[in-house]
Chain A
Amino acid sequence: GENVEQHPSTLSVQEGDSAVIKCTYSDSASNYFPWYKQELGKRPQLIIDIRSNVGEKKDQRIAVTLNKTAKHFSLHITETQPEDSAVYFCAASIRNTGRRALTFGSGTRLQVQP
């Protein structure tokens, strides 16, 4: 089955700096890669996602890149703010099949220091 590894497990940056979280996946059939943000005590919320036919996607200060050949994808947050502090999860799945379960990475706890 699919295996997703995520690094680092914790990340501390100064406000205004950039943060990068990296994930690798094992199943070359995976074609959908969402990122979820979970603030303390709240539900995981989708912040950005990317499909395998796209190499990069941006949404304001957040961007995700995908390297299908290397089977890795990354989340980039620029101009970080204290409210970006949360646990971030990457995930992978195979869309357009009966099985749509997400396989998650272990999470990255991002701390943005004011």
Chain B
Amino acid sequence: EAGVTQFPSHSVIEKGQTVTLRCDPISGHDNLYWYRRVMGKEIKFLLHFVKESKQDESGMPNNRFLAERTGGTYSTLKVQPAELEDSGVYFCASSQERGKTQYFGPGTRLLVL
């Protein structure tokens, strides 16, 4: 089966610009997670969708981040306006309903200059 895919693989933008990241989970996986790793630190949870609903968004850092999953398939994470501290690798993961394993995508490397 195809794994989790993310687009773009890399993004370099200037401070104040907007960037939208996309995640396509494994087909049939209702659970979709966003994480990010900043400056080589730990991977931190951002939010969790179950189908199209936000189950947990306690990790979202501020209101410059907006995640959507219309239709319960792919998800987007928009950062607007981007700040320098938003640089890092943004990972998406998905899992089956009631499943335990979260399968990660390759990540989007975001650099804000």
Contacts and interface: CB of A to CB of B under 8 A. Distances in A.
B45 A101 contact: yes
B106 interface: yes
Given A32-B100, A107-B42, A101 B59 contact: yes
Contacts of A43: 3-4, 91, 104-107
B35 to A, nearest CB: 8
B48 interface: yes
Interface string B31-61: 1010100001111110010000001101100
Contacts of B4: 43
Contacts of A1: 58
A73 interface: no
A105 B45 CA distance: 12
A93 to B, nearest CB: 9
A44 B91 contact: yes
B109 to A, nearest CB: 10
Contacts of B106: 42-43
Given A45-B104, A98-B56, A100-B48, 13 more contacts: A4-B42, A32-B100, A36-B104, A43-B4, A43-B105, A100-B95, A102-B33, A102-B45, A102-B102, A104-B35, A104-B44, A105-B42, A107-B40
Interface of A: 1, 4, 6, 32, 34, 36, 42-46, 49, 89, 91, 95, 98-107
